Amino acid sequence: MQEPAGTLDIRRFESSGSVHTIELGEASLDDLTEDQLLWIDLEGGSEPTITDVLGRLGIDDEVAAWFLDRSAMPELRVRNGWFFVRVVAVRNDGELTYNGTVLAILAGRNFVITSHKEPVGFLTKLRERESHDSGLGMLGADSFTASLLDWHVNSYFEAVADFESADERLETDILDDRHGECLHSLRGLRKAASRLRRMLSAHRGVFAAIARPDFRPGTDGEVNRHFQTVDMHFQRAMEAVENAREVVIGSFELFSNQTALRTNAIMRVLTILTALMGGLAVIAGVLGMNFEAPFFKTGLIGFVVAVALMTGMALAGFAFAWWRKWL
């Protein structure tokens, strides 16, 4: 089955703030001025489509092969002043199911090309926000790529926020003694936290590389600071993801403590019942002894007195336990 051609969005941003949506035939990487920024975004599409788009832009086959590599492993490559970065943006599919969308970015002189098989939420938001009177034209390609990578890191912060909300709801259920499927939910939280950590930690090499001074030595210090800021945000995102795992451990301890408290309450009730039944059994045993005592010749009256005494002892025991808050 042939893959669909995909969706191509090409925008040229001017430093004056104007935005022009253009066709592929109008896009030229060589004619861009310092006051312009060209952003080409290809969503979906088969390999021939990607090759055709890049070929029309004059991008050689070696660089095109970087886009055609559909590996999910983050990667950074530098060539002739251009650099290529592949990252995995997290996608929340609901019910603590986190999957990744591979995003490939190529940045050169005043142009940025992005390619992804599936929709990327933050790219859609960015296109909507910058559709008119955009200030992106004042950014260079490096700074704009740093902004995209920062949006990418922010997708993990949003995933952690969703994770924490789910954990808070679970802890509320635990404290309200609505245990139900809590153990199953804890298992889901643990799986989600591990999934987020694996996805984000794979980017360590990429973000460490872009933060080094030798990554873009020919650019001004402001561009390097942009990449260093992205690396700082990545480190904070890693801390948030690591903390998510600790949150699961804390929730499990809360679940264990609540289960222990419920068990203790049940055992306390059983102990009280055992003590009361033991006392009644002693009375019944005494009354069943075969001695010729006058009390055993009282007939119905003696039976009623014995039953009343045993009932009174049981009620008094329950009342005492209730008063001491054992029940």
- Whether residue 210 contacts residue 153, with contact meaning beta carbons closer than 8 Å, is answered with no
Residue listed under structure tokens 């492993």: 73
Residue 264 is predicted with a pLDDT of 77
Percent of the chain scored above 90 by pLDDT? 19
Q: pLDDT tens for residues 117-129?
A: 888 888 888 888 8
Considering only 66-80, 240-254, 293-307, which range has the smallest mean pLDDT?
293-307
Tell me how far CA of residue 113 lies from CA of 12, 144, 230, 248, 253, in angstroms.
12, 11, 19, 39, 48
Average pLDDT along the chain: 82
Reported pTM: 0.77
- Look at residue 283 and tell me whether its pLDDT is greater than 80: no
3-state helix/strand/coil string of 83-141: EEEEEEEEEECCCCCEEEEEEEEEEECCEEEEEECCCCHHHHHHHHHCCCCCCHHHCCH
d(CA 237, CA 215): 22
Which is nearest to 107 in space by CA: 67, 155, 56? 67
Task: Report pLDDT for 2.
Answer: 47
Q: What is the mean pLDDT of residues 266-279?
A: 77
What DSSP line would sit under 146-169, residue for residue? HHHHHHHHHHHHHHHHHHHHHHHH
For residue 210, pLDDT beyond 70: yes
Write down the residue that tokens 């002693």 correspond to. Answer: 282
The pLDDT of 163-169, averaged and rounded, is 86
The conformation of residue 16, written as its DSSP 8-state character, comes to T
**pLDDT (mean) for 152-163:** 91
pLDDT of 49 strictly over 60: yes
Residue 41, SS3?
strand
Residue 57 has pLDDT above 90, yes or no: no
- Among residues 210, 60, 97, 98, which one has the least CA distance to residue 149? 210
Residue 165 has pLDDT above 80, yes or no: yes
User: 230, 164, 241: which is closest to 200 by C-alpha?
Assistant: 241
279 vs 257: CA distance, rounded Å: 33
Dist. CA 257–CA 262, nearest whole Å = 9
Higher pLDDT, 312 or 194: 194
Q: What is the model's pLDDT at position 289?
A: 64
What pLDDT, on a 0 to 100 scale, did the predictor assign at position 76? 92
Tokens 């402001």 sit on residue: 222
Give the residue-averaged pLDDT of 135-163.
88
Q: Is the pLDDT of residue 219 over 90?
A: no
Of 179 and 35, the structure prediction assigns the larger pLDDT to 35
- Sign of CA pseudo-dihedral 42, 44, 50, 53: negative
> What per-residue confidence (pLDDT) applies to 204?
93
**Of 209 and 16, which is predicted with more confidence?**
209
pLDDT of residue 179: 58
Please tell me which residue, 163 or 275, carries the higher pLDDT value.
163
pLDDT (mean) for 11-26: 84
* Digit-coded pLDDT (tens) for 70-117: 788 999 998 878 899 999 999 888 888 889 899 999 988 889 999 888
CA-based nearest residue to 4, from 46, 52, 38: 46
Top-confidence residue, 307 or 165: 165
